[in-house]
Amino acid sequence: QVQLVESGGGVVQAGDSLRLSCAASGRPFSRYSMGWFRQAPGKEREFVAAISRGGGTTYYADTVKGRFTVSRDNDKKMVSLEMNSLKPEDTAVYYCAGKNTISSYTPRQIDEYDTWGRGTQVTVSS
24-54 confidence digits (pLDDT tens): 998 789 999 999 999 999 999 999 999 999 9
Cβ neighbourhood burial of 67 (10 Å; 0-12, 13-18, 19+): middle
63-116 confidence digits (pLDDT tens): 999 999 999 999 999 999 999 999 999 999 999 999 999 888 999 999 999 999
Q: Return the C-alpha torsion angle 12, 67, 105, 46, nearest 10.
A: 50
Q: What is the structure's pLDDT at 113?
A: 96
54-66 confidence digits (pLDDT tens): 999 999 999 999 9
pLDDT category at 119 given cuts 50, 70, 90 is very high
Q: What is the structure's pLDDT at 104?
A: 84
